[in-house]
Each structure stands twice: as C-alpha cells, then as structure tokens.
Amino acid sequence: MTSPSSSPKGRLFLMMVLELAIWGAWLPLIFGYLPSLGFSPTEPPALLAPFVPDFLKWLFSEQGMILNAFPVAAIIGMFFSNQYADRHFAAERFLAFSHLVGGVAILGCGFVHTFWPFFWLMFVHCVLYVPTISITNSIAFANMKDAQKEFGLIRLGGTIGWILAAWPFTFILVDWAKVAAAHPQGVVAWFDIVLKSGLTGEALKAATKWTYVVAGVVSLALAAFSFTLPHTPPKTKAEGASENLAWLEALRLLKHPFVLILWLVTFIDSFVHNCYFNWTGSFLGAAPAAGGVGIPGNWIMPVMTIGQVAEILTMLILGVTLKKLGWRRTMIIGILGHAARFAVYAYFPQSPGAIIAVQILHGICYAFFFATVYIFVDAYFPKDVRASAQGLFNVMILGGGALLANSICPRLIQQTYTQAGSTDFKHLFLLPAFIGLGAALVLLLFFHPPAPRPDDPGATSH
C-alpha cells in the first residue's frame, strides 16, 4: 500500500505542513523572549546609535530590528528574491538550500544571547525563508492536475503545520522540578501534573529558546525532504520575461481608487493583526496581578492555535459567504473581528474562558479579510500582472503592517503602558480595537469596486 507521504499529493501536503510549522514554532513567543535577553524596545544597538536620529529610534531599536527582519525580507522578496529564485533555480533545490542554511540560522538563535549574533541569524533565516512561502506554492501549482480543486486541500497542510508546531510545547515548557516534587503515581496522574505545571515568568522566557530549536530541526527536516519532491525546473527567460517590470504595472493599478483604498486598509488591518502577535503571548502568560490572564506557559501556544483551527473551518464556508455577502461586507466582518477580539481582551482579562473562546475570531479575521483580499486580487487584476499584484498586497500583509507593528508595539507594551511591573492591558488593547473600527468604516464608505464578472465569487453584493 502506498503511504500518503509517498504519493505526489501527500508529499506536497507534507511540504506545506513542514513549511508553516517552522514559522509557527518561533513567532508566537518571540515578543516576550527578546526583552528577557535585555534587547531594548526603544534604543538602537550601540554601534548604530550615533547615526540614528531620535525620530527613527522606534524603527531601529534592538527589538525592532530583530522583529522587522521578517517584514523587510517580505519586501525584498517582492522586488528581488522571489522572481530571481523562480527563474534561476529548480524550485525543490532552492527550497532545500534555503531550509538548510535558514534552518541552521534559526537553530542558532536558541543559543545566542547578544544582539548582533541574534539579529544576523534571524535576518539570514528570514531572507531565505520568506521566498520559500511562494516557492512551495509554485511547486504545488506545477504538480497539480486541477489547481482549483486540489490546492485548497494541499495548502490546508500549512495551517495544520502551524497548529502542530505549538503542541509539543505543552511538554517542553514545563516546570519539571514541580512535576518531580509531586511524585505522580501512574501515567494518568503524570500527564495531569505535567499539563498543569507550565513554566511562568522568567523561567518561561528562558525556556523559549526551545522554540528556535524546534523551528531549526523542522527546517532541516524540510531541507532533506525537499529532495523527494517532484522536480520543478526554473522558468525560462521567455516565460518570465514579461514579469520583469510586472510589479511596476501592479503599482500603476493603485491609480484606481478602489484598489488604493483596499491597499491602504490592508496595511491598517495588517498592523492590527500584528498587534495580536506582538501582545497576545505576553497577555496570556502574565499573572492576573500584573494585568494578564495567567495561563501556564506550556498552554500559551496551543491556546493561540485555536485561531488556526477556526481558520480551517472558516475557509470551508468562505466561498458561500462571498456569494451571500459580497466582497465588502465579508472584508468588513473580518476587520471587525479584530476589534471585537481586542475589546474582549480589554474588558474581560480576568475571564480565561472568554479569552480562550475569542481566539476563534483570529481564524475568522484571517479568512474573511486576508484570504478574501487574495481572492479579490485574483478576480480583478489583469492576468499578466496578477502574480505581482498579489505580491503588492503581500508587501502590506507581510511587510508594511508588520514593520509598523513590530517597531512600535514593543515600546507600547514594555514602557508606555507598563508601570511598576503591571501592564494597563485595557487601554493597550483598545488602541488596535479603535483602529480596526476606523479601517472598517473606511472600507464601508470608500471601497466601491466595479461591477463583477458573472463568475466572480463575490458577485452578489458589494
């Protein structure tokens, strides 16, 4: 009998599982880990400090530089690395090289504790990792018979990979001294004690190094697995020639008001979206006395994956929702989901049940706004610039919004809203909540796309 991983579809599915597991392993807890290493949220590294003007310190702070390695890599990818890799290397070989070198780099982040080594390792990892997000899509599309039917199921592997990356940490981020002291009798009692003995405080931050170890190991595994993937040769010059300046054509499309409005709202929503990643881990793990929820450290990442589970379910109804509600209403619901989640964070921090349940909105936010944006671009942009148009919106989704959030969010949570060891999470979370409400209002008032084609998935209502 052929195993799923040996069939072409099974290998593509497993490729997506491993690809997103890498990112999902290190991202959720990095925002609380960097302060524990002593990296400043407001000051540039000493080597750069004399050259950075005061008004740019928020962008070139130590934490900001590390966190912005990913969005900067996304912007570089838009203009260079994605197309270069696509045209000069067999996709599976580029994937293997990127995950070998990038895997060693992210693995190294778990063992260095000074700024410059950590920054350069993270930068190398991100510059090599970000193009592989597109490369894995290219490998999948090149080896499917019916992309419309098959890609959704294969891409589902990525969401599952993100979820799976979180669950080992229920057993990694554990206070084993507490478990040993309890002397549990039997397997059931042992599991009960382990699951209740998550690390907290400084011990949790110190143990977060294992997220980089897991990410590195998965990356190296994908590097080896890449050699089993179907051969996907580089595009010939003739195939890719018209795309040399395709991103310029995509930029020209911003002259249309409905495209410009959506592009700017995408930037705002990406900022709000990245506020979630910047602050949620710290909020969940902080003690109630310090303004947080008090969830044990080994449960923070699993709780945050509830959103990815909801994303899977929401994606299943997205097509029907678009037909029923249309582009604008669906996107507005996605944005309002962010506002609602942050409102629950602000007003019910002492209700762990409510905080856990509201994680469901994360998946709804992603599917109803970001996934819908990708579908909208595919429906409205000319075919010859469609790939670059997707990249243009990716600059906002993975680049611009994240760049802004990663630059100012550490300062807001660590200094502006924290006094005497206690964080004013209420007013902190109301900030992105109101920004989200404003973005939804802009979309409602100013986003008016032209009449859709008959086969447009959002044809019913705009």
The pLDDT score that the predictor gives to residue 444 is 96
Higher pLDDT, 136 or 7: 136
Most confident option among 164-168, 374-378, 395-399, 434-438: 434-438
How many angstroms separate the CA atoms of 459 and 453, rounded?
7
Structure tokens at 21: 């597991």
Closest Cα partner for 265 from 219, 328, 209? 328
More confident residue, 395 or 277: 277
State the pLDDT at residue 260: 94
Contacts of 240 (CB under 8 A, 6+ apart): 83, 86, 87
Contact 403, 72 (CB under 8 A): yes
Assign 147 a pLDDT band (cuts: 50, 70, 90).
Answer: low
Return d(Cα 332, Cα 2) in angstroms, integer: 45
- The whole-number pLDDT of residue 69 equals 96
What mean pLDDT is reported for the chain?
Answer: 88
Indicate the range of 104-108, 209-213, 452-456 predicted with least confidence. Answer: 452-456
Quickly state the pLDDT bin for 6 (edges 50, 70, 90). low
Distant-in-sequence, close-in-space partners of 123: CB < 8 Å, separation ≥ 6: 69, 72, 73
Whether residue 462 has pLDDT greater than 50: no
Structure-token pair, residue 402: 């994240």
Structure confidence at residue 319 (pLDDT): 85
Read off the pLDDT of each residue in 350-377 and give the average, rounded to a whole number: 91
Q: What pLDDT sits at residue 251?
A: 79
| Mean pLDDT on 212-216 | 97
State whether CATH 1.10.10.10 applies to domain 8-173+208-244. no
Residue with tokens 């109804």, as numbered in its chain: 317
What would the mean pLDDT of 256-265 be, rounded to a whole number?
94
pLDDT above 90 as % of the chain: 58
Per mean pLDDT, which range of 35-39, 100-104, 218-222, 370-374 is the poorest?
370-374
The pLDDT of residue 81 is 55
Which among 179, 340, 335 is positioned nearest to 261, based on CA atoms? 335
- Alpha carbons within 13 angstroms on the beta-carbon side of residue 402 total 21
CB 126 within 8 A of CB 69: yes
Q: How far apart are CA 213 and CA 209, in angstroms?
A: 7
Rounded-to-integer distance, Cα 34 and Cα 402, Å: 17
In contact, 443 and 265? CB cutoff 8 Å: yes
How do residues 65-113 score in pLDDT, each as one tens digit? 999 999 999 888 766 655 666 677 788 999 999 999 999 999 999 999 9
Question: For the residues 368-375, what does the mean pLDDT come to?
Answer: 89
Sorted by where each begins, the domain ranges of the chain are 8-173+208-244, 245-462
pLDDT at 244: 53
- 236 or 178, higher pLDDT: 178
Q: Is the pLDDT of residue 240 over 50?
A: no
CB neighbours of residue 235 within 10 Å: 17
**Does 101 or 420 have the greater pLDDT score?**
101
- Separation of alpha carbons 354 and 450, rounded Å: 40
Please answer whether residues 377 and 389 qualify as being in contact, where contact means their C-beta atoms are separated by less than 8 angstroms.
yes
Dmax (CA) of the chain: 69
pLDDT at position 102: 97
Other CB atoms within a 10 A radius of the CB of residue 445 amount to: 9
Model's pTM, two decimal places?
0.85
Q: What is the pLDDT averaged over residues 377-395?
A: 76
DSSP tally for the chain: helices H, then strands E: 23, 2
Instruction: List, as one string, the DSSP characters of 80-98.
Output: IIHHHHHHHS-HHHHHHHH
Matching CATH topology for 8-173+208-244 and 245-462? yes
pLDDT score for 144: 78
Pairwise pLDDT comparison (33 vs 86), residue with the higher score: 33
Q: What is the mean pLDDT of residues 155-165?
A: 91
| CATH class given for the domain over 245-462 | mainly alpha
pLDDT at 399 over 80: yes
